[in-house]
A and B are shown apart, each in its own frame.
Chain A
């Protein structure tokens, strides 16, 4: 209870102790005003987050849409309105959308990521030894700053670096150019992304799995169901909404990959993603207008894909009892 609520709750009580037993109407605040304050209270609580949300999300987005209709270079005090020219430039140059092919690697990786996360969440939801330790270990990468992750993996991927040394222990010889070989660069980067975000998926799944009543497993075990059957027929249907949410996040996430490739390769060697391209347009080639338009296009794309996904996989309530 917050202090505001406490004071209000305390007021009538204090009045009752000192005042006459039949409460006079004059001693209490008028009913109308009280109702108004009561109606206002939730808005007062909402004021802080709403202000922050509007100030740091909606106004910048509105600004961005405004910039996308101009030829602003990001620094000049003047800018002129060019209408839809930036959007025409974007759609008439298919080369600008080729970078989405790179997103395919991350999309494929996110399926691996979800599968792994499901596996670990299931295993750790049973009575595994040291399960809390493993939960911590698997979730830990998500807590590390993205820049640090990038630098760590730069050393990891160096020729004759950590990964090559590890592989040699298992008898795989030779130096690999994990980031240098154009066929390996994107899978390597996508691998880093799996390592980093798998823990988050796992925690989401784990939370959902824990809300499944344990007597279901007991009943299933009595009926002779093994672990795989329990997973297939109890856990998967039980956490379906979370799984489908993960897929939606995976698709929009893989379209907007930025941090890992930007830090590790800067988009060189065929690892440029749409967001890196946008950043380069804005800050290297002074085309903030065009870059804003790309950002708007990305936003629309993601909204569209999410909407299609929601239509294809309708939300359903899961009854667990």
Chain B
């Protein structure tokens, strides 16, 4: 028995020294765009979450097009179904492709450890949107190919049946409209997608919309109590709370199903869901598959107006980065630039291109017709906010705290909105204090 302990202690000490023996990761050179396409060569591996585009050959087509411009570069794709989970684990090694999407859960201050800088922020931000989402110390580490607007995907036919044609302009109006839908139609007015969870996290992406303030997210770093009246998180979470509290959401949120919800909204069994603009084409496809009219599905901004105009926040989708350990950085960078600016990928999928000055896609026609102000969500304080968020164990970008909010609203957990917001405020303030904020 005693000998076992000796072995265990020895093993522990070995492990402990192994930990402290590690040194700072090497910093890569800048992955600059190559000046002469003929000179870049090599085979690059691109990690992607779009396994569907690998199997239907879409990505292969892009790679072939790319090959015409860069004849000596060969592009290989590696699709990962559980992209977030697998990539983060692989990043403990040096082998995580040449080009990859930055995992969402990676905090921004880690970027320089894993990715090669793509250039100066001042320069790149003139050409691309959302560069501030991946800027550390004035250097940009990731570029996204598309942006996403946030709003409610809604079934126009159901809303029209309830006699509503205008977009609600305040959260109160929105809730009143949902109540009308509940009384006049059989549809579930709002679907939370509580079980799958990530649709709940999307509410956080709406920060900025209620007050039409691009700096709303950044102000979280300096706010002691983000869930206080007047703040965006308060407005957003209060709206969700009220919807559930007035029983305007699905009766059993714990057994929801995302794939199923797409056809439910397509066939008018559900009236609205809070999602990104990427979901428009997916829900339309689901409606078509169910034999309904895809044009019934519309997209409306957060119910709030500033100076008589609606406001929607744009945020980047996944950002593309170059592995700092890659020895083909020029080829990798060439692919990223080509994919974002020349491939035509964003237009083909009805997404908002991240290249500055690109026109809005057809799916957001209603936004341009109604003169919706599209504002960016600045994330200059992202590192600080990530730090507070993780230390407080709230997780504003994860589903847990909003699932609890829904539970409180439907009476499945103790407390009410004010007590829950007070609890969240307390955790946030405490974490800020411990971090010396």
A positions within 8 Å CB-CB of B: 58-59, 62-63, 65-67, 69-70, 72-79, 81, 154, 157-159, 161, 175, 177, 179-182, 185, 265-270, 280-281, 283-287
Most chain B CB inside 10 Å of its own CB: which residue of A62, A69, A270: A62
Q: Are B8 and A269 closer than 8 Å at their CB atoms?
A: no
Q: Are B398 and A266 closer than 8 Å at their CB atoms?
A: no
Q: Are B395 and A284 closer than 8 Å at their CB atoms?
A: yes
Interface residues of B in 228-265 (CB under 8 A from A): 251-255, 257
- Shortest C-beta distance, B409 to chain A (Å), equals 12
- Shortest C-beta distance, A57 to chain B (Å), equals 11
Instruction: A161 to B197: give the CA distance in the assembly, Å.
Output: 21
Q: Are B8 and A62 closer than 8 Å at their CB atoms?
A: yes
Given A75-B110, A180-B253: A285 in contact with B390 (beta carbons within 8 A): yes
Most chain B CB inside 10 Å of its own CB: which residue of A63, A269, A281, A284: A269
Q: Which 8 A-B pairs have the closest CB atoms?
A: A66-B15, A62-B11, A77-B25, A180-B252, A179-B254, A268-B403, A182-B412, A180-B254
Q: Who on chain B is nearest to A158 by CB?
A: B255
Q: Are A65 and B255 closer than 8 Å at their CB atoms?
A: no
Most chain B CB inside 10 Å of its own CB: which residue of A181, A280, A286: A286
Query: Hey, what's the 0/1 contact readout for B99-121 against A, CB within 8 Å counting as 1?
Result: 00000011100100100000000
Q: Are B252 and A76 closer than 8 Å at their CB atoms?
A: no
B positions within 8 Å CB-CB of A: 8, 11-12, 14-16, 18-20, 22-25, 85, 88, 91-92, 105-107, 110, 113, 194-195, 197, 251-255, 257, 390-391, 393, 395, 398-400, 403-404, 407, 410, 412-413
Instruction: A295 to B395: give the CA distance in the assembly, Å.
Output: 21
Q: Which residues of A lie under 8 Å from residue B23 when comparing CB positions? A: 77-78
Give 14 pairs: A residue, B residue, CB < 8 Å, sorted on A: A66-B16, A75-B88, A75-B110, A79-B19, A179-B255, A265-B195, A268-B254, A268-B404, A269-B254, A269-B413, A270-B412, A280-B400, A283-B85, A285-B391
Q: Are A77 and B24 closer than 8 Å at their CB atoms?
A: yes
Given A58-B11, A76-B110, A268-B194: A81 in contact with B24 (beta carbons within 8 A): no
Q: Are B113 and A77 closer than 8 Å at their CB atoms?
A: yes
Instruction: A76 to B105: give the CA distance in the assembly, Å.
Output: 13
Instruction: A281 to B195: give the CA distance in the assembly, Å.
Output: 20
Q: Who on chain B is nearest to A156 by CB?
A: B255
Q: Who on chain B is nearest to A272 by CB?
A: B400
Q: Which residues of B lie under 8 Å from residue A62 when comparing CB positions? A: 8, 11-12, 14-15
Most chain A CB inside 10 Å of its own CB: which residue of B11, B18, B92: B11
- Shortest C-beta distance, B255 to chain A (Å), equals 5
Q: Who on chain B is nearest to A266 by CB?
A: B197
- Shortest C-beta distance, A37 to chain B (Å), equals 26
Contact partner of A269 among B15, B88, B412, CB < 8 A?
B412
Q: Which residues of A lie under 8 Å from residue B391 when comparing CB positions? A: 285
Q: Who on chain B is nearest to A267 by CB?
A: B400
Q: Which residues of B lie under 8 Å from residue A175 when comparing CB positions? A: 251
Q: Are A81 and B254 closer than 8 Å at their CB atoms?
A: no
Instruction: A100 to B229: give the CA distance in the assembly, Å.
Output: 36
Given A62-B12, A266-B399: A159 in contact with B22 (beta carbons within 8 A): no
